[in-house]
Amino acid sequence: MTEAYFEPLGSDDGWEVFRATPHTVSAWGPDLQHGAPPSAILTRAMERLDAGGDARIARVAVDLLGPVPLGELRTRARVARPGRRIQLLESELVAGGRTVARASAWRLATGDTTDVEQAAESPRELPGTDHNGDFFNRWTSGYIDSLEIRGAEDGTVWARPTLPLVAGEEPTPVQHVMCVADIANGVGAVLEPAEWRFLNTDLVTHLHRPPVGRWIGVSARASIGPDGIGATSGTLFDEKGAIGDTLQALLVERV
C-alpha cells in the first residue's frame, strides 16, 4: 500500500489523476473515504492556481455530494472570481464520471497586521501524553489510524497526520490543516456511534492565521435538533494558539 492518502497517477485533459489509498477510509464504512482527505486534495487543487501576488486561502468550504470512494479520482480547479486583492477559487473531485465533492475558497491578499493580531480563543496546551483518547480508540478506520492523536484534559483533541497528502509531496500549511479539520465531527460528538450515525455533509473552515508546526488541536461540540439534523462547530489550534474555526451540518440517523 502506498504510504500516503493519495498516489499521483499523472494528468489527463486538464485533470489531475490520483488513486485514493486505504489510508483514507472512513469509520462509517470500508468502501468510502473520511471527509478529511477529499477536503485536503480539493484544497491542494485550489492552492496550485496562480495567486498573482502575495495571497493566501482564508476560507475553504467543502460540500460532500455523496460517498467518496477509494480508487481512481480526478481533481481540477479554476478561478471563479479573479481579483488583485480578493479571489474566489473552485475545485471538484470526480470518481467514475460523477462529481462526488466540490469546494470553494476565498484567497485574500496578505499585509502586515502584526500590531493588531488577536484571537477570540485562548491558546490550548498540547499534552505530552494522551489524556482523553477513548473516543478514537473505540472508533477506528484507515484514516483515523493514520493520525497520531493526543486528547487533552480540556477536551481538545490534538492530531498529527503520519502520512503525506500526496505521495512524494510535502503538504502546505493549509493542506495540513485540511487533513485534520474534518475530525471536528468526531471530536464534538454527543451521540454514541454504535447507536447513531451523524454524517457531516460539508466542512467550512476559516483560517485567520496559517498554522505553525505539525500538531493541530480541535475543540468542538455538536448540537442535535429534534428532526434528525445537527451541527458541529469547532475551533482549530496550533501550539501558539487559535488559528481558525469550523462548521459542519449533520444528518443524524439511528443505526
CATH class of 6-110+125-254: mainly beta
Residue 219 clears pLDDT 90, i.e. is over it: yes
Residue 134 clears pLDDT 70, i.e. is over it: no
C-alpha cell at 20: 485514493
CA 28 to chain centre: 16
Residue 63 clears pLDDT 90, i.e. is over it: yes
Supply angle C-alpha 61, 66, 71, rounded to 5. 100
Q: What is the pLDDT of residue 38?
A: 98
For the stretch 174-186, what's the b/e string if a residue is b when 16 or more beta carbons lie within 10 angstroms of its beta carbon? bbbbbbbbbbbbb
- Confidence grade of residue 28 (pLDDT, cut at 50, 70, 90): confident
Answer yes or no: are the C-beta atoms of 198 and 191 closer than 8 Å: yes
Q: What is the pLDDT of residue 139?
A: 75
Per-domain residue ranges of the chain: 6-110+125-254
pLDDT digits (tens, 9 = 90+) for 73-93: 999 999 999 999 999 999 999
pLDDT digits (tens, 9 = 90+) for 142-189: 999 999 999 998 899 999 999 999 999 999 999 999 999 999 999 999
C-alpha cell at 2: 502506498
- Confidence grade of residue 137 (pLDDT, cut at 50, 70, 90): confident
Q: What is the pTM of this model?
A: 0.95
Supply angle C-alpha 107, 6, 50, rounded to 5. 25
Which whole number is the average pLDDT over 209-215? 95
Which whole number is the average pLDDT over 105-115? 97
Task: Please state, in angstroms and as integers, the Cα–Cα distance from residue 208 to each residue in 44, 106, 117, 246, 248, following that order.
Answer: 18, 12, 10, 12, 18
Answer yes or no: are the C-beta atoms of 158 and 183 closer than 8 Å: no
Q: What is the pLDDT of residue 107?
A: 98
C-alpha cell at 247: 462548521
